[in-house]
Amino acid sequence: MGKIYTADQVKQRIDDINVNSNDEGGSKNITIMKTLTDPRYKKATLIGISLSAMQQFSGINLVLF
């Protein structure tokens, strides 16, 4: 950060990061069940699973099965 910001801006950004990391209200524990059932994460999870499955079925693994 020191290469693109001034010393005051770097200190301000670090202070902002420290304040946000100490904020307990903003941090959430995400479990596997929340990932699979929460609408916010469901789309990303389905895309990830679909891409992984397509990769497996489009390569040499298809021949081995």
- Residue 46 one-letter amino acid: L
Asked whether the beta carbons of 52 and 61 are under 8 A apart, the reply is: no
What is the pLDDT at residue 61? 60
Render pLDDT for 18-64 as a digit per residue (tens, 0 to 9).
876 655 555 567 777 877 788 887 888 889 888 888 888 787 665 66
What is the pLDDT at residue 39? 84
What is the pLDDT at residue 23? 53
Kindly report the number of other CB atoms within 10 A of residue 51's CB atom.
Answer: 10
This model's pTM is above 0.75: no
